[in-house]
């Protein structure tokens, strides 16, 4: 190739490269060239609610950070602001605002300043709310009319007018007035007198009732599903009752999809609405597995299987195996729903349990029958438990048979599933046995457990956790009582700083044998420091005792908290204040706070 050609080709290549460099430089410089104008918008003379609404209406506020904002557009937006401010104040009853404004350029920043006097408000002079139809005799509408957020003489606030309309329509839907509508909804404003006349005419129409209910499924008997109905045919229609039915069927765990549909088009001349319930069964079997670790139990593994449906009457069953470093258990249970399957059920269970700790060795088999009822937040269980236990505690051992009737109550109120800022939990269990009535020992025992969580607002992201246990037993011959029915203290869920079940009365050799009584108390402050991480400080006190006035041991320390998706995980560094040298113990636990 001639030299001139090579030189020309190189020049063209350099030209193309230079073109690309210049283009890149232009693109990189473009954001700087269109960085917009520094703009501040100041609104004075108004309360927070009115000022926030004005900012929402102001175009200059919405566009002040636009990188392409020019001085010409800024001035146009400033000119449009007065009309926008008036539009923002009108819904709150202010139609005569006095506005002072200025646009200044100071040290490279544009400042749009608006001083607003909202002026005298428009007040409601006439309030005419009329109710017609069957709802006129309904006490619920009478109460609502007395509580409507509209009052004669009050400032006209149009969001309150809109809310009043919504409350009337919502109550009509909930109470079964399916044809309800407004025949008049009007506001008349006299700007010369600063007064308003509000007219609301609401015709509820007839009140509908529930008609026949049909279940579209084949898995369970329709007669059994009818036990879930919170209403009966002929009862007044209510959307709240339909939602209650929806929730009950979802919570039953029988179905994957639940849809409750009123068929308004097929309503009868007597205003009865047929209800269709479409149900898609979930898988008949469910399998579960879990792993964990705690300083009390060591590593642990669990495997479970459950059968959601056995037959067409809602019976279900399950088996669970738990294996840990200190013990193993295998339990099976069969559940029969009762007349109110959402809240009442009969549970038959059996299992085997083995545990070996530094304190005791337990081998047991048990069978139980329980009737369980749930009323709101309270769960009540009446049970009869048969226990065969071989045990060794210190220098005591035995082979016991116990037939124990009992009753247990559980009350839980909390916010959040894995992390609660406020809530509490109470558990009370009372049971016993009588010698020669299917038992080797006579005793009566009760255990009260309480937990509470409360926020500490003045410390920011902090919460207070309180925990307490009180166990009482009456037993004429303590040595005959198996280990599982004795009280022990110490461990990550008891008095921290002490080994698991290491606190309690001892035998002649100094081995802990358990006590007749249990007293444990704990106070902990936890502070969230970053996302789901927190730190905690705590003080625990307690012991298992033979006398209620016995000595209580103390533990104190601090811990690290991680609120993981599966629940809180805790690492505690605790000092046993009543052991020689006050040794430190690192303890690990996981599980819900309540």
Please check whether residue 150 lies inside any domain of the structure: yes
Nearest Cα to Cα of residue 506 among 394, 389, 419: 394
* 3 φ/ψ angles, rounded to the nearest 5 degrees: -60, -40
Q: Would you state the pLDDT for residue 17? A: 47
Helix (H) or strand (E) holding 243: helix 239-251
Give the whole-angstrom CA distance, residue 372 versus residue 409. 10
- What is the maximal distance between C-alpha atoms in the chain? 121
Helices 48-57, 71-89: crossing angle, 10 deg rounding: 130
Same domain, 110 and 172: no
Same domain, 78 and 108: yes
Structure tokens at 218: 């084949």
Structure tokens at 342: 């959402």
CATH code of the domain containing 164: 3.10.20.310
Beta-carbon contacts of residue 580 (< 8 Å; ≥ 6 apart): none
The residue count of the chain comes to 594
Same domain, 91 and 184: no
Buried b (16+ CB within 10 A) or exposed e, 243-270: ebbeebbeebebbeebebebeeeebeee
Beta strand 344-356 pairing with 123-132:
unpaired
Number of domains in the chain: 4
Give the whole-angstrom CA distance, residue 67 versus residue 155. 41
Please check whether residue 32 lies inside any domain of the structure: no
Same domain, 374 and 470: yes
E-strand stretches of 439-489: 443-455, 462-474
119: left (phi over 0), alpha (psi -120 to 50) or beta: left
**SS3 at position 482:** coil
Q: Would you state the pLDDT for residue 241? A: 94
Residue with tokens 């869920």: 493
Please check whether residue 294 lies inside any domain of the structure: yes
Distance of CA 126 to the CA centre of its chain: 44
From 117, 135, 167, give the residue that closes a domain: 117
Structure tokens at 100: 């002072």
CATH code of the domain containing 534: 2.40.160.50
From 117, 132, 151, give the residue that closes a domain: 117
Same domain, 253 and 180: no
From 246, 264, 281, give the residue that closes a domain: 281
The DSSP code sequence of 521-540 is EEEEEEEEEETTEEEEEEEE
Beta strand 272-281 pairing with 344-356:
unpaired
Q: C-alpha angle with apex 125: 123 to 127, nearest 5 degrees?
A: 110
Nearest Cα to Cα of residue 313 among 346, 351, 290, 287: 346
**CA-based R_g, the chain, Å:** 36
Residue with tokens 């769960």: 379
Q: In what order do the strands lie in the sheet with 181-190?
A: 123-132, 195-203, 181-190
Please check whether residue 369 lies inside any domain of the structure: yes
* 89 φ/ψ angles, rounded to the nearest 5 degrees: -85, -25
With a cut of 50, list the residues of the chain below it in pLDDT: 1-35
Q: Would you state the pLDDT for residue 419? A: 77
Give the whole-angstrom CA distance, residue 126 versus residue 190. 11
Same domain, 100 and 128: no
Give Cα separations from 459 to 29, 455, 463 (angstroms). Answer: 48, 9, 9
Identify the DSSP state of 156.
-
Same domain, 416 and 498: yes
Please check whether residue 26 lies inside any domain of the structure: no
Same domain, 511 and 550: yes
Helices 158-175, 139-147: crossing angle, 10 deg rounding: 170
Instruction: Identify the domain containing residue 152 by its residue range.
Output: 123-203
Residue 202: how many CB atoms within 10 A of its CB? 27
Please check whether residue 342 lies inside any domain of the structure: yes
CB-count burial class (<10 Å; 0-12, 13-18, 19+) for 45: middle
Cβ atoms 520, 528 nearer than 8 A: no
Q: What is the pTM of this model?
A: 0.77
CB-count burial class (<10 Å; 0-12, 13-18, 19+) for 39: buried
CB-count burial class (<10 Å; 0-12, 13-18, 19+) for 430: middle
Same domain, 238 and 105: no
Same domain, 330 and 295: yes
**SS3 at position 60:** helix
Give the whole-angstrom CA distance, residue 237 versus residue 211. 9
Please check whether residue 338 lies inside any domain of the structure: yes
Please check whether residue 422 lies inside any domain of the structure: yes
Q: Would you state the pLDDT for residue 432? A: 97
Give Cα separations from 100 to 45, 61, 105, 108 (angstroms). Answer: 10, 17, 17, 23
Q: Would you state the pLDDT for residue 99? A: 94
Same domain, 388 and 324: yes
Same domain, 218 and 353: no
Structure tokens at 276: 């269709």
């Amino acid at each position: 190739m001639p030299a001139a050609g090579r030189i020309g080709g190189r020049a063209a290549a350099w030209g193309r490269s230079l073109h690309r460099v210049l283009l890149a430089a232009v693109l990189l410089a473009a954001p700087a060239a269109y960085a917009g104008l520094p703009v501040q918008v100041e609104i004075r003379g108004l309360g927070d609610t009115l000022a926030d609404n004005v900012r929402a209406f102001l175009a200059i506020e919405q566009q002040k950070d636009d990188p392409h904002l020019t001085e010409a557009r800024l001035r146009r937006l400033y000119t449009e602001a007065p009309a926008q401010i008036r539009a923002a104040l009108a819904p709150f009853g202010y139609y005569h605002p006095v506005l002072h404004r200025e646009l200044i350029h100071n040290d490279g920043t544009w400042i749009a300043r608006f001083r607003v006097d909202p002026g005298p408000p428009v007040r409601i002079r006439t309030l005419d709310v009329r109710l017609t139809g069957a709802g006129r005799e309904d006490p619920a509408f009478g109460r609502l009319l007395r509580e409507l957020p509209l009052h004669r003489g009050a400032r006209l606030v149009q969001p309150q007018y809109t809310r009043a309309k919504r409350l009337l329509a919502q109550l009509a839907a909930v109470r079964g007035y399916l044809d309800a509508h407004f025949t008049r909804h009007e506001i008349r404003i006299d700007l010369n007198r600063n007064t308003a006349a509000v007219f609301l005419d609401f015709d509820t129409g007839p009140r509908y009732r529930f008609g026949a209910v049909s279940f579209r499924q084949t898995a369970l008997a329709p007669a059994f599903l009818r036990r879930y109905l919170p209403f009966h045919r002929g009862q007044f229609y209510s959307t709240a009752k339909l939602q209650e039915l929806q929730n009950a069927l979802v919570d039953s765990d029988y179905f994957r999809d639940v849809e409750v549909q009123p068929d308004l088009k097929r309503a009868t001349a007597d205003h009865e609405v047929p209800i269709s319930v479409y149900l898609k069964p979930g898988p008949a079997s469910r399998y579960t597995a879990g792993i964990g670790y705690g300083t009390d139990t060591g590593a642990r593994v669990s495997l479970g299987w459950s059968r959601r449906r056995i037959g067409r009457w809602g019976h279900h069953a399950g088996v669970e195996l738990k294996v840990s470093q200190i013990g193993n258990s295998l339990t099976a249970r069969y559940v029969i729903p009762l007349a109110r399957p959402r809240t009442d059920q009969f549970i038959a269970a059996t299992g085997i349990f083995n545990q070996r700790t530094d304190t005791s060795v337990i081998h047991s088999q048990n069978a139980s029958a329980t009737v369980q009822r749930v009323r709101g937040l309270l769960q009540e269980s009446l049970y009869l438990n048969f226990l065969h236990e071989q045990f060794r505690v210190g220098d005591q051992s035995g082979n016991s048979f116990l037939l124990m009737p009992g009753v247990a109550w559980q009350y839980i109120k909390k916010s959040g599933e894995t992390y609660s800022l406020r809530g509490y939990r109470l558990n009370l269990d009372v049971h016993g046995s009588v010698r020669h009535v299917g038992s080797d020992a006579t005793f009566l025992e009760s255990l009260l457990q309480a937990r509470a969580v409360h926020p500490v607002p003045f410390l920011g992201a902090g919460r207070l956790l309180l925990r307490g246990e009180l166990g009482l037993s009456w037993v004429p011959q303590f040595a005959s009582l198996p280990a599982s029915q004795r009280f022990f203290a110490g461990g990550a869920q008891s008095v921290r700083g002490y080994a698991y079940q290491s606190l309690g009365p001892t035998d002649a050799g100094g081995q802990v044998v358990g006590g007749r009584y249990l007293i444990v108390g704990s106070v902990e402050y936890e502070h969230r420091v970053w996302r789901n991480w927190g730190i905690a400080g705590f003080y625990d006190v307690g012991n298992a005792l033979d006398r209620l006035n016995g000595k209580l041991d103390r533990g104190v320390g601090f811990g690290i908290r991680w609120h993981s998706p599966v629940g809180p995980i805790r690492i505690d560094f605790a000092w046993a204040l009543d052991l020689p040298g006050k040794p430190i113990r690192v303890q690990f636990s996981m599980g819900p706070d309540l």
